[in-house]
Structure 1
Amino acid sequence: MGNFHMATEDLRTVLREEPQNTPATQLLSQIEKKMEECQQEKQRKGKKILIQEIEEADNQTDSDNKAHKTACLVQPSQPVGGEERSATPVERGDMGNAHKKPHGRGDGGPHAESNSSHHEHRRNRGSSDKYKVPQEKIANGSSKRGSTASVQGDQSGSGKATPVGGNAGETVNLDAPCGALPPPLARLKNEGNLLFKNGQFADALEKYSQAIQGYTDSGIDSPEDLCILYSNRAACYLKDGNSQDCIQDCTRALELQPFSLKPLLRRAMAYESLERYRKAYVDYKTVLQIDVSVQAAHDSVNRITRLLIEQDGPEWREKLPEIPLVPLSAQQHRREEPPSAEVLQARAEKAARDAERKAEVRFSALKQEGNDFVKKSQYQDALGKYTECLKLKSEECTIYTNRALCYLKLERFAEAKQDCDAALKLEPTNKKAFYRRAMANKGLKDYLACSSDLQEVLQQDPNVQEAEKELEEVTKLLRQSLASTSPNKPRKTVPITEVEDDENVTAVPNSKNSCKGEDISINLQPASAYEFGQSLNAARSSGNTVACAELLASTAPEMLPQFLSTQLDGHTISFIMQALHSHLLEKDPYLVYQHLNHLHTADRFSVVLMLLEKEERHHMTQLFEDLSAVQSTQFTKNDVQNLANKYI
């Protein structure tokens, strides 16, 4: 009969386009006549097929629980809800797809359910309440069909467990995880399951639809979870008698997970309700290939076989669509056989991939939640989300720098520094990690380390204005710190006279301190940093750059950082620069280049360089400009410019 309906619709479409199509008009008349004959014959037989299905709700995977179904025939003499040819839909809350059930049998009979939880539920309700008719009133005075049975407990969005049905001891956690679905979508699915169990099929359908739309918008990749959502929504459609939409959702589910049992069974029942018996037969046979123990499928195949024989005659099999061959991997009744090593390995690899995919989905969701909290300045909440992210992926540099920002905002500088150190171990050139570690060191009053990190940031990107401003501020703080820790006492000038090794001692006229007419004696070949320091201090205290130039000329350039390691300060560097520029640049420019090439490697040089005054920096710049103008075969102008970048 379903095929006749489809044929008449197609022919009417053709006639609307081609009203003069005589063959189509004749064929339509013949089909309508046959439909009328079939209808009359069907009324004479007075037989109605009723299907009952009991099955648990889809909670995590759509193939965990087997569907248990039974079927029965209602004779014309048997009253069904006061209607002659229709049976009453059973408004049960399980995820089964029973769309037609007989009324008035309280003893269970052939409809006994194999699921123990359903046995208990039915015993509690009483055998007389096993089936309901649409007009029959329930306790609150409203019809069962139109009732939106309230769900006891909180369904408003809180994460608390919710009591199920009338059993106060049984609760459901609506925030329980569901596969790889993000928490908001998992909650929608759990709410839909709970509504379905309580008979609120329209509300459950809305929840599943929202979950499906959210899945599409979120861009996640979890075919198994989407298949379950479509299958659950198909069950709602079937309960409401919307077989066409049920078929569409089941088909979508099967496209995602071929040979999934529940979508196949629900689609078969929807086809049968539309009297599309050939397609229903194919789906039932496919179900039996997957799980031979589904009794409802056996009963439906026997029933539909008789109908097809009456409709199509002995050659009814030739008119059936092709029945797909179910692979062994999808046949549940064969899964009891011990799996091979290859199968176990494949399962382990698949489980690992699934776990990794689910972890990635959860990681992305937690990271986004943390970022949202940061935008709202809720740093403590963001801190918790980032910490959960690191439990899933402990080597994600971005999470460390993000959490370091939260620690900085909460003034937990030690923890912020630790996170930046961890980030720099993973990415040694991470600019954000350097900058946030600088801010943490500033909070810890470690201005030297702070300035070092800020210089690293500016070396990577000179356009970071925040780093420039912070460096200026930290430089001032560093000067104040040094000034407060060292007493401001004038240094004594101690004349030094060497009495040994006369050949290495020379008297250098003090050109700038000639008011006393005295000469100073310095050791031109110091053997230690102490001796070099004494000689340098003697020349600097009198401002004698000639003596300093002679000392530098007699000192190997590679020894200069070692001699200056204990007494390097801004005034010393400035004095050495003046001596090199005034007296050695013209005589031996290569020696000046060598001294400059080694001087910047001395300890604390970068810190001392920041303490130079503006005039002292100007003198240093002038020295490099004059050095770069020198024509030499031992160094190039480009070498001088590269060296100047370390000073200026």
Structure 2
Amino acid sequence: MSTAQQEKELGNAAYKAKNFDEALVHYQKAIDIDPTDITFYNNMGAVYFEKKSYDEVLKWCEKAVEVGRENRADYKLIAKALLRLANAHKELGDLYKAKSFFEKSLSEHRTPVTKEALSHVEKLIKEQERVAYIDPKLAEEAKAKGNEFFSVGNFSEAVKHYSEAIKRNPDDAKLYSNRAAAYTKLMAFDYALKDCDDCLRLDPSFVKGYLRKGKVLIGMKQFSRAADAYQKALELDHQCQEAIDGYRQSLITSSSDPEETCKQAMADPEVQQILQDPAMRMILRQIQEDPAALGDHLKNPDVASKFQKLIESGVLSFK
């Protein structure tokens, strides 16, 4: 073993013992003896990383890459130096440089660890950019433009500006309600329903959010769910005429055509889930054979609630 390698081994032992200053002394001696070995520079970078001296990490790992390329070092060793450069930049808060060096490391040698690190830093950059984009004042300006287009019936353009407003202020529940209204006009009910749910997640006491949701669900012909939405609006505002009218409309429409009601109910995810429940299917078969068994099953609150849902939706009826 050469003298340089002996110094490296002494440095490794000190490093493992977390005696970092001693490790630096031995690695420096190894470099003085053989300045062409990339490993010694990489090891210096590793010690400074443990000491959280990230500027020193950059200095030694940049030198490692330089020495490695000059002496045709193994690409895995160059990738290792680039990876440590990436992690140092990340610790210093420069995510864009970190991303660049993770990519450079992968171009030399692809490892799962580096790929995962790159993916993580890309997510951090995306979140950083999202937060940096937030500006409530600009959100209000975008909302005002959306309102203008909505008022003249240009709903697709209104959606565009409401979307911009949401990016600028993603915690404003009313913006989702506004976009839901525009989506409803465009009959894009799935998008409208998601916006209603996001609106109510941010502000569960926002009456208009439930009114919008009820209207969307009527458009989707999910009358039982629409009635539930209007009922929640009425719990918040007993005098809300729009909620009263919507609740009444939901009930009347759902009962006007039993066959159509049943057909619509079968498209209701909640009804589907109940009917696909093995326990409920067994109970339904049992009461079909023995109607008297129903009373026992209704003693279970969960089963009683599911029966009520099936009755309200028109799937189940008793004469």
Q: Do these two structures clear the TM 0.5 threshold for a shared fold by scoring above it?
A: no
> With structure 2 as the length reference, what TM-score do the two structures score?
0.43
> With structure 1 as the length reference, what TM-score do the two structures score?
0.23
Q: Give the number of the structure with larger relative contact order, counting CA–CA contacts within 8 Å between residues 6 or more apart.
A: 2
Query: Larger % of strand: which?
Result: 1
Query: Larger % of helix: which?
Result: 2
